[in-house]
Amino acid sequence: MSKPSDLIKGTLDLLILRTIALEPKHGWAIAKRIEQVSQDVLQVTQGALYPALHRLEQQGWIRAAWRKTETGREAKFYELTKAGRGQLEKELAQWERLSRAVGLVIVQ
Amino acid sequence: MKPRRGWDILRLRLRSLGRRNRVEQDLDTELRFHLDRQMEENLAAGMRPGEARLAALRKLGGVTQIQEECRDMRRTDNIETLWRDLRYALRMLRKAPGFTVVVVLTLALAIGANSAIFSVIDGVLLRPLPYPEANRIVRVFFHSATYPTFPLNPFDFRDFRARNRSFESLAGYAHADLQLSGTGQPERFTGFAVTAGFFHTLGLHPARGREFTANDEIPGNDQQVILSDRLWRHRFAAEPNIVGRKITLDARPFTVAGVMPPGTEHPGNQYNGIAHGETVDLWWPFAFRGDPTQRGSHFLEAIGRLKRGVTAAQAQAEVNALIAQLAREHPGALDGWQALAIPLYQEIVGPSERLLLVLLGAVGLVLLIACANAASLLLARATARQREIAVRTALGASRPRLVRQMLTESLLVAFLGGALGTAIAVVGVRGLVALLPAGFPRADTIHVNAAVFAFTLLVALATGVLFGLAPALQAARTDVQDTLRGSGRGAGVNRGHLRLRSALVVGEVGLACLLLIGAGLMLRSFVNLLRADPGFRPEHLLTARVSLPYATYKAMDAPRFWTRLCASLNSGAGIRAAGVGTDLPWTGYDDNIGGLNIEGTKPPSGQDFHARYHVASPGYFYAAGIPLIRGRFFTPADDMKAPLALIVNQSMARRYWPNEDALGRRVAIDDHPKEQEWMTIVGIVGDVKDKPDSPTPEMALWWPIEQSPVGVNNNMAVVMRGSSDPALLGNALRQAVRQLDPTLAVANVRPMDDIADANVSTPRFALFLVALFAGLALTLAAIGIYGVISYAVSQRTHEFGLRMALGAQAGDVRRLVLRQGVKLALPGVALGIVGALALGRVLSSLLYEVSAADPLTFTAVPVAAIAVAALACYLPARRATVVDPANALRSE
């Protein structure tokens, strides 16, 4: 498996944080959600999701808990911590700066 | 916020580590949940169940890989990997017991030796002196062209004390033993007469009572004593009310003023017999007797505590200024003298510092050689393990991962070596302390302690990395394809190994040669020392000291006592000769007399006629075995009424009467003597040096007991020559003394052989250790050569087979192998010689009558080293010749 470049790795973190910012979600739901919202443009390699989740959890940005899903099965739900919210804002700002810069270059 | 976050992360990691199983299970469940949902979706999309499952798995990716990556993300990996690597390393080491035992033992010996020497260095050099703020304590000496360090005149000292501004306190002390009688057997104790504030200067305080003040320095007030803790316990049963009690010392009543606590260490002295560590038992006040205008006699040693911020150099400059001041007040008395202020630490450990650092260097070289050997062995093993490493690489182990694994292995070996080395150090230090020369400074502070353990741990760590890194990097470079394809002798890699190993062996041989040359020089020096004629005959000679209390032996009582004692001893059974004298050979600094008046000559300007002076009975020289060169020894006829007689040694005769006969010449002490004050030289005796390794003998003279111009001698050394074991003479001496005076103690009963032995104990100690380390180094280097040559031979089996098939004889092949071994040894030997020449300067101060570039040593050692290298090649060479050509050729 090829390693995601730093940009993509950072982006994945951002996507995850953004996805669970509204409500806690389990892994599969996060993957699905990213696919749906991006209209299948961003096909998250599902396998890459879980190491990312674990990394974010170790950083203390998200926190996990076992809860019942709508079908009644136990699943691990991830939600943002306070530090995670701060991180999300920082990454969003950074993303915007980056995309604006890229946009400027391209428009020229 | 920041530290808080760091703490959170640490906590999460610890949790992950602590609940590893739980976390792994969670991950399992989580992934299964994911797969199930994906399958449901796939089924809903119309896939068949089997298909749906496969598609879901495909979409997720390798489960094992995800688990591994999640583990990486949790970073608990490090500790787990370490644990796994350790277990793996243990397994590998168990599988190669021969390798493990050799490497661990090699390292253990080297590390153990290092730790042992380090504990000595820690105890002697690194540990602070046992006085508070010891760095402010300095010894103060006089210094002149003739005398590097000389004691002070008491009145000069008193003026320095009163006038200086550099010292917080300045104290003087002089060795003066006292004889305790009255309770039990009379016994002589090591004592010092000390001025007021002596203990205060050291920063020590009596445990009971008080220390001496200026009032106690007044003659008549000085019959007081401070006891050591040991003396108080052993002779006075730790009597709590001892202070104020009267005890009998030298037949006079002394009042006990105080008791010092245990651990009161003597700061060292240079004159009248050196005391060590905690051996001093009595301190009594130094009383300033005599005429303060007479400043010729020097016998007070000085020690001072500098004021804060004052350096020893500043204090020295001030005392020099005071000397100039005093010289104006007392014209002539201080001519030629300068002051010397030496920090106490330097004064105590200075002489042994060089020796210890040389030993540390030597033992460090041994460790380097052991490292080279271990690295070489590891490289050899890496070759054998190429397949294993290739397989692991093929299975996805990264290079850093492999290096880490190999380093874990070498560190494990190093720590095993370190653990065993610590055990060796504990035993070794005990041996070392027992071997230490008599009077080695601070020998009792040498222990294996926490600092030594820390040092050992550090050395083991450094060792592990040092010998493990190169082999690990080499191993990780293994060519996977080549190795796995089965042409397991990937020639390129092996040649690299061999080159590295050869370089290591060259280095090893060089270091071993360096050590061997050092040991060789020390051996030559030691042999010279033992071969040198001491100037007396130490065998079958017993020595002792007897002193007569001034209170009961007045005026001519003492000479009469000595004459009677000698007569009694000389008539005793088993005694061939006996005599008494003020000094014994090789027991320390003898007193000096300057300003001698030699009839018919004047000293060159700025110099004076001087000599060591002694008093001796008629039998002294004969008993001690000091040869008579010309003239005669003293006889009983050289008494008070006879003309003054003098015996001088050869050095004095040659120096002051060059190209003349000294016999019959006259010497006086006064510048304008009366006719009867002239002393006539009646005999010339052989030279005896101050110490066996002194560069030249000093000039010396002797007076007959009854004619001594320096007053009566109540303190004398007895020499008795027997026909066999001198120890048996001890009882005869005690009996003879008891018959004459039962209150007298016989002290320091020692065979002269012991004294002679103690005098060569420092060079012997150094020689023993350096030779031990050099032997160890040579053995290790030989093992190294053996290893490389055996490996080379195994690599060249095919070639040897071919040569023999083509008609080469066994001898040809053997020569071939030997040549390869010698080729390795030669550059090593060359390196060793160059290194030894460069380092010669370090050793030269430890050598006696041997040049640091001694041709004999520099020839013999290389020859021996090459011979050993050839010997190490012998077995592999034999193996090379028993190769069956048919087999060798087929094996390819």
Residue A4 has pLDDT above 60, yes or no: no
Average pLDDT over residues B230-244: 88
pLDDT grade for A3, boundaries at 50, 70 and 90: very low
C-beta of residue B216 within 8 angstroms of C-beta of residue B196: yes
Measured between beta carbons, the chain A residues lying within 8 angstroms of B26 are 66, 76
Name the residue among B200, B194, B198 with its Cα closest to residue B217: B194
In whole angstroms, give the CA distance from residue B367 to residue B374. Answer: 10
- Count interface pairs A-B at CB distance under 8 A: 69
Asked if B551 and B702 count as a contact pair (C-beta separation under 8 A), the reply is: no
Contacts of A31 in chain B (CB under 8 A): 34
Local confidence band at A8 (pLDDT 50, 70, 90 cut-offs): low
The Cα B261–Cα B177 span in angstroms is 20
Band of residue B488 on the pLDDT scale cut at 50, 70, 90: very low
**Domain presence at residue A48:** yes
In a domain, A1, yes or no: no
Of B154, B282, B258, nearest in space to B207 by CA: B258
Q: Give the confidence band of B820 by pLDDT, cuts at 50, 70, 90.
A: confident
Instruction: Say whether residue A86 is in contact with chain B using an 8 A CB cutoff.
Output: no
Q: Give the residue with greater pLDDT, B834 vs A40.
A: B834
Chain-chain contact of A58 with B73 (C-beta, under 8 angstroms): yes
Set of chain B residues whose Cβ sits within 8 Å of the Cβ of A27 = 30, 33-34
Q: Scanning every residue of chain A, which has its alpha carbon at the shortest distance from the alpha carbon of B13?
A: A58
pLDDT value of residue B283: 92
- In this prediction, residues B725-753 reach a mean pLDDT of 85
Helix (H) or strand (E) holding B404: helix B399-435
Beta-carbon-side half-sphere exposure of residue B744 (alpha carbons within 13 Å): 27
Q: Is B61 close to A59, i.e. CB distance below 8 A?
A: no
A78 to chain B: closest CA residue = B30
For B295-395, where are the E strands, in sequence order? 301-306, 338-343
Q: Which residues of B lie closer than 8 Å to A, measured between beta carbons?
A: 5, 8-9, 12-13, 16, 26-27, 29-31, 33-34, 36-38, 59-62, 65-66, 69-70, 72-75
Bridge partners of B746? B546
Query: What's the whole-number average pLDDT of chain B?
Result: 83
Residue A54 lies in a domain: yes
Q: Report the alpha-carbon distance of residue B40 to residue B404 in Å, rounded.
A: 44
Helix axes A46-58, B20-44, angle to 10 degrees: 150
Tokens standing for residue B878 = 């034999």
pLDDT over 90 at B234, yes or no: no
The partner residue sitting opposite A58, judged by closest CB among B13, B33, B69, is B13
Asked if A50's CB is within 8 angstroms of B30's CB, the reply is yes
Q: Which helix (H) or strand (E) holds B734?
A: helix B729-740
Q: Are B26 and B67 in contact (CB under 8 A)?
A: no
Residue B563 phi, psi dihedral angles, 5° rounding: -60, -45
List the single residue in B with minimal CA-CA distance to A76. Answer: B30
Q: Predicted confidence band at B448 (pLDDT cuts at 50, 70, 90)?
A: confident
Identify all chain A residues contacting B75, using CB atoms and an 8 Å cutoff. 58
Which among B29, B59, B65 has CB closest to A1?
A: B65
pTM, entire model: 0.71
Taking contacts as CB-CB distances below 8 angstroms, the residues of chain B near A51 are 66, 69-70, 72-73
In terms of Cα–Cα distance, which of B451, B474, B346, B460 is closest to B403? B474
**CB-neighbour burial class of residue B745 (10 A; exposed 0-12, middle 13-18, buried 19+):** buried
What distance in Å separates the CA atoms of residue B465 and residue B473, rounded to the nearest whole number?
11
Model confidence pLDDT, tens digit, residues B453-474 = 888 888 888 888 887 887 777 7
Mean pLDDT for B118-126 is 84
pLDDT of residue B7: 67
Q: Give the model confidence (pLDDT) of B269-322 as tens digits.
A: 887 777 777 888 899 999 888 888 877 788 899 999 999 989 999 989 998 898
From B388-402, B512-526, B771-785, the region with the lowest mean pLDDT: B388-402
Of A47, A60, A66, the CB nearest to B62: A47
Say which CATH number the domain at A71 has.
1.10.10.10
Look at residue B890 in the predicted model and tell me its pLDDT: 67
Asked if B548 and B557 touch (Cβ cutoff 8 Å), the reply is: yes
Single-letter code of the amino acid located at B24 = E
Q: How far apart are the C-alpha atoms of B793 and B817, rounded to whole Å? A: 7
The CA distance from B43 to B735, in Å, is 118
% pLDDT > 90, chain B: 12
Using only C-alpha atoms, chain B has a radius of gyration, in whole angstroms, of 38
- Would you list the DSSP string of B54-66? HHHHHHH--HHHH
What does the alpha-carbon distance between residue B84 and residue B573 come to, in Å, rounded to a whole number?
80
pLDDT for the residue numbered B639: 86
Q: Would you state the pLDDT for residue B139? A: 93
> CA of B30, closest CA in chain A: separation in Å?
6
**Residue B879 CB neighbour total at 10 angstroms:** 16
Integer Cα distance of B362 and B365 in angstroms: 5
- Return the residue matching tokens 């020796």: B355
Give the pLDDT confidence score for residue B164 in this predicted structure.
87
Residue B56 and residue B37: Cα distance in Å, rounded? 9
Chain B CB contacts of A54 below 8 Å: 27, 70, 73-74
Q: Is A28 on the interface with B (CB under 8 A)?
A: yes
Chain B residues within 8 A of A76 when measuring between CB atoms = 26, 29-30, 33
Nearest to B169 by CA among B47, B310, B60, B282: B310
Higher pLDDT, B892 or B385: B385
Task: Please give the structure tokens belonging to residue B390.
Answer: 């290739």
Band of residue B2 on the pLDDT scale cut at 50, 70, 90: low
pLDDT for res B888: 65
| Residue B480 binned pLDDT confidence (cut-offs 50, 70, 90) | low
Q: What is the pLDDT of residues A96-108, one digit of tens each?
A: 888 888 888 887 6
Contact present, B277 and B266 (Cβ < 8 Å): yes
Strand B252-259 and strand B208-209: the pairing is antiparallel
Q: What average pLDDT does this structure show over B818-843? A: 84
Helices (H), B436-556: 450-476, 480-484, 491-531
Q: Which two tokens stand for residue B476?
A: 């990780």
Task: Give backbone dihedrals phi and psi of B157, rounded to 5 degrees, phi first.
Answer: -60, -45
Is the pLDDT higher at A55 or at B157? B157
CA closest to B61 among chain A residues: A47
Residue B495, pLDDT > 70, answer no
Cα Rg of chain A (Å, integer): 15
Contact across the interface for B33 and A28, Cβ inside 8 Å: yes
Least confident range from B52-56, B758-762, B831-835: namely B758-762
Q: Smallest Cα–Cα separation from B369: which of B473, B517, B514, B498? A: B514
* pLDDT higher than threshold 90 for residue B334: no
**8 Å CB contact between B879 and B546:** no
Quick one: pLDDT at residue B491? 44
Q: What is the mean pLDDT of residues B150-154?
A: 87
Residue B287, C-beta contacts closer than 8 angstroms, at least 6 positions apart: B193, B216, B217, B218, B219, B220, B221, B222
Residue among B37, B57, B63, B72 with most chain A CBs within 10 A, to mutate: B37
- B174 and B156 Cβ atoms separated by less than 8 Å: no
Q: Which residue of B has its CA nearest to A65?
A: B26
Residues 52-81 of A with CB under 8 A from B: 52, 54-55, 57-60, 66, 73-76
Residue B684 predicted with pLDDT over 90? yes
ipTM of the assembly? 0.84
A-interface mutation test, from B34, B35, B57, most A Cβ less than 10 A away:
B34
> Which of B7, B9, B12, B73 to mutate: most A Cβ within 10 Å?
B73
Residue in B with minimal Cα distance to A77: B30
Residue of A35, A54, A73, A87 for testing the chain B interface, max B β-carbons within 10 Å: A54
Q: Do A46 and B70 touch (CB under 8 A)?
A: no
First-to-final CA distance of chain A: 36
Instruction: Mean pLDDT check: name the lowest of B18-27, B71-80, B81-90, B660-669.
Output: B71-80
Using CB atoms, which residue from A1, A46, A54 is nearest to B74? A54
Q: How many CB atoms lie within 10 A of CB B423?
A: 12
Question: What average pLDDT score do residues A25-42 get?
Answer: 78
Helices (H), B19-142: 20-44, 49-60, 63-74, 77-95, 97-121
Structure confidence at residue B650 (pLDDT): 92
Confidence bin at B223 (pLDDT 50/70/90): confident
pLDDT of residue A1: 33
Flag if A27 and B65 touch (Cβ within 8 Å). Answer: no
Q: Which of A35, A46, A57 to mutate to test the interface with B (most CBs of B within 10 A)?
A: A46
**Using CB atoms, which residue from A47, A59, A73 is nearest to B66?**
A47
Query: Quick check: A51 and B75 CB within 8 A?
Result: no
* Within-domain flag for A22: yes
Considering only CB atoms, B73 lies closest to which of A54, A73, A76, namely: A54
B568 in Cβ contact with B602 (< 8 Å): no
Q: How far is A88 from chain B (nearest CA, A)?
A: 16
Residue B680's pLDDT band (boundaries 50, 70, 90)?
very high
**B33 → closest Cβ in A48, A58, A75:** A75
Rounded to whole angstroms, the Cα distance separating B584 from B582 reads 7
Give dist(CA A30, CA A16) in Å, integer.
7
Q: Where are the domains of chain B?
A: 2-75, 151-336, 352-531+761-890, 553-742
With beta carbons under 8 A apart, name residues in chain A contacting B5.
60, 83
State how beta strands B301-306 and B628-631 pair: unpaired
Give the range of the structural domain holding residue A88, as residue numbers without chain letter: 6-107
Q: How many domains does chain A have?
A: 1
What does the pLDDT look like over B373-396, one tens digit per residue? Answer: 888 877 777 777 777 777 777 776
B542 touches B719 (CB < 8 A): yes
